[in-house]
Chains A and B, each alone.
Chain A
Amino acid sequence: MTSRAVRYLGIAATLGGLIVMVAFFVGLYTMGYSLMGSLMPREGEEPFKIGMTPDPSGALTLEFSMGVRNQGFLGTTFTVSLELLSADGESIVRGSDTKALPPGSSGELEVEMTVTPEDVVRYALETSRPTLSFGFNIRSLFDLIGMGISFPMEMGGG
């Protein structure tokens, strides 16, 4: 009886280890492949579109859109987060969008941020070169694992 319990524990540990390892690699494959597929789209396609349009009131609207593809075997949640930073590194405005996609499907992440006329003047956005901090995160395997990249993009003044 007791040796049987020990044997069952051993089987449970071995099987558990194998299941976790296989699930981890499938999740890793899903995230890696989806990350690459979203950031490096097919030839002729752009990874993302970004536009900054001034408002008659003096406000600035920043529109961002990005196509994402789940190219793996598991459901995946994509999140894009943006933060506009002044030339001195101060946070001006931030926004994000999240989309959960089943395997083999694609979608669009969209973020719209508005900088108030006061902030446009305060941070001299018409003349300075603000930075857009871009963050892209993917979670998979029932939200157990995550992967992401972030980098700053220098925006043109005005």
Chain B
Amino acid sequence: MRRTVKAVLFASGYILAFVVLPPLALRFVPEGLIVRMTTFMGLEVQAILTTLALIGLAMAATSFVEKMTDDWSPLHLLSSISKEGVSFYLTLYFIGLADPWSFGLVNRLIHVEQPMAPRLALTLLLDFRNIVILFAFIMGLSILKEALGFYYSRREKETTSPSI
């Protein structure tokens, strides 16, 4: 019972943070800024919200399964690794300005309005590849921790379970 409550609470937290809150927060952003983001930087706000919602649902599902299963269960290991993968994807998504496959190297054309002059086309370059490598290393540590936890709890279970 306590486990179910914990699992539901964690999953609800992810749904609240990624599915419910972003569209609500968007209502407080001036419409002009949203139009500028779309026109000048090519950022589609609706697509970003949809991606965030999908990430939130994936996080909620993996977190729910993780909390509902025992440490020795292969399903627990699988859900933990999936959660790490999804959160790494989220990091890539933010760092890559909605383009996760850029792996931290963003090269984007921006159109800037100038008073009394033609539009200026700027190229914005962001190089966050080293940060992506650091986050990948941290994800590796987390996966190693989950794998070791799974291995030892499985071994413990095998040694303590009564033999037939």
A interface list, Cβ under 8 A from B: 2-3, 5-6, 9-10, 12-13, 16-17, 20, 24, 137, 139, 144-152
Contacts and interface: CB of A to CB of B under 8 A. Distances in A.
A145 B131 contact: yes
A9 B128 CA distance: 25
Contact of B126 (A10, A146, A150, A152): A146
A71 to B, nearest CB: 18
A152 B122 CA distance: 8
A144 B149 CA distance: 33
Contacts of A16: 134, 137-138, 141
Contacts of A3: 152
B120 interface: yes
A150 B125 contact: yes
Nearest to B125: A148
A137 B135 contact: no
B8 to A, nearest CB: 23
Contact of B145 (A9, A24, A147, A149): A9
A151 B123 contact: yes
A16 B142 CA distance: 10
A12 B148 CA distance: 14
Given A2-B152, A9-B141, A149 B122 contact: yes
Which 7 pairs from chain A and chain B are nearest by CB? A146-B127, A9-B145, A13-B141, A144-B130, A13-B142, A148-B125, A151-B122
17 contacts: A5-B148, A6-B152, A9-B148, A10-B142, A13-B141, A13-B145, A16-B138, A20-B135, A24-B128, A139-B127, A144-B131, A148-B127, A149-B123, A149-B124, A150-B125, A151-B123, A152-B121
B127 A145 contact: yes
